[in-house]
Structure 1
């Protein structure tokens, strides 16, 4: 039987380069210098007696042997991580990096408490968040840039699995001192005369709102238009107007400046879910965070505030 003379770090180096198709990007992910990363891959190839990667000045590609070995290396790493994460005391010593792509309206208020709880369980696993538009979140997952994503977009993609976590309403964001802040709900027709603000037409949130209003024979006229929901909330806080935003984008009740009022007739909702590449199992560390978000979402379904509890 041939003796195995390479170690886990060399396997991780090869997998990182293969998945990112770049020594530079892989070195950043692993917090290594490019020469150090290259030495690990060179050592692995030398021990195997086979070339795994084809390197040019512009790109890195897998050889035929490299493609076969990549799947086996992933399996070996995942099984080892599963074994480590199943042992409570050792789990806290596990190191690694997870990348999660997430729409900003979820990243700001919903996700931090979940990340905090995850970090308590696995303090040495780092979490990188790509907080971008729904399209960027989807592309990050499909390309492998992110382990998985959190979005309301992606159910039509053939290479993506979408697991619904919760359904949330769109609410009217207003200042606490606005007369509407004392209302429990308001219709879209009642917004006539208000300085209404919205996100740009390229936004997935805007598409959902416009589609729901069009089906109800209604329309809005915006005084201000921005690219991101969180910018809208800044304008609301400044007293420039009111805005329709997903409930998860709003802070907890009791915020010093902002309040939310349910929008009705029509009631606009979106289904928030976890997206991942179809047929590609998550690494154990990423699966742990995926499961925690899923569990928190199911718990939030039973709570009007739609908020995770603090750990």
Structure 2
């Protein structure tokens, strides 16, 4: 199988019909159908089951799809780098972050960065924790920003912010009258939890376990930003990282300390295989400044 054949296979798996795959690849439908038949003949086993003009990938086809993902990720990174060199864009950085940072610290840092360097081009994406680390490791992104990193995963990591999880609710919520909110307090009200298995969710569950309080919730969400939206809507009370409610200026939320104190860190990660560009280093300096200003506003944690 060559790269073009794998690309065609992946398109058909995604699109489920040869017509849509042909449109995506800029080919004719008969060309895609013939290519699939030729590929099945070449590998010696079926790749798709045909039902009502739709193609359903076999287990073997899905295996090939999943195993080929790193190849196309690297290929995309290489193509992007070639384009940068072709256009002589020395001032081009690619950054990626998890939502608490991608919707908070980084936009503020990016604004300051681009005011000083208006000609620099930036590719910016917000993804899940694991995807951020993978993107930095394979070179798709130059810098990654995550919260709750518990090991360096083979990457260079720099902690630029440390704080404690906080409790958020509508200003007119009874919990807003408390100086500090505890897991015991949250037993009495609708509680918005962070998803089990996520970094932030694990931190909060540890606090409940430490307080010997069962972790029961009304709603469970993956991201702190989602929890803030629901809390503002009056769905309940949430425990989130300290940055999400601070930077989301449209939220009308009361923010209270959460006890027991639950530490969380924000980190910048980069590859150990390649140095970052001067532009990326300059952006990281802006991130440090915004984080320091925010830490000062939040006070001792």
Q: In the alignment, what sits opposite 1:113? A: 108
Secondary structure at the counterpart of residue 220 of structure 1 = coil
Structure 2: stretches of 5+ with no match in the other structure: 1-70
Secondary structure at the counterpart of residue 282 of structure 1 = coil
Q: Do residues 288 (structure 1) and 282 (structure 2) align?
A: yes
1:98 and 1:254 map into 2 onto residues whose CA distance is 27
> How many residues matched?
230
> How is 1:1-311 mapped onto 2 (pairs within 5 angstroms)?
21-22=74-75, 27=79, 96-251=91-246, 257-264=252-259, 266-304=260-298
Q: Which moved more, 1:281-290 or 1:253-262?
A: 253-262
Shift of 1:174: 0.3
Distance change in 2, residues 1:132/1:305 (3 Å): farther
Task: Note if contact 1:20-1:145 (Cα within 8 Å) is conserved in structure 2.
Answer: yes
2:253 and 2:228 map into 1 onto residues whose CA distance is 8
Task: Note if contact 2:97-2:127 (Cα within 8 Å) is conserved in structure 1.
Answer: yes
2:93 and 2:238 map into 1 onto residues whose CA distance is 34
Shift of 1:250: 0.2
Task: Note if contact 1:149-1:275 (Cα within 8 Å) is conserved in structure 2.
Answer: yes
Distance change in 2, residues 1:135/1:110 (3 Å): same
Shift of 1:183: 3.0
Q: For each residue in 1:172-223, what CA deviation from the matched residue of structure 2 results, as whole angstroms up to 9, or x when unmatched?
A: 1101221222333222211121100112113211011112332342332011
Shift of 1:292: 1.7
Task: Note if contact 1:141-1:149 (Cα within 8 Å) is conserved in structure 2.
Answer: yes
TM-score (norm. length: structure 2): 0.67
Secondary structure at the counterpart of residue 145 of structure 1 = coil
1:284 and 1:163 map into 2 onto residues whose CA distance is 17
Structure 1: stretches of 5+ with no match in the other structure: 1-17, 42-76, 78-93, 307-311
2:247 and 2:178 map into 1 onto residues whose CA distance is 17
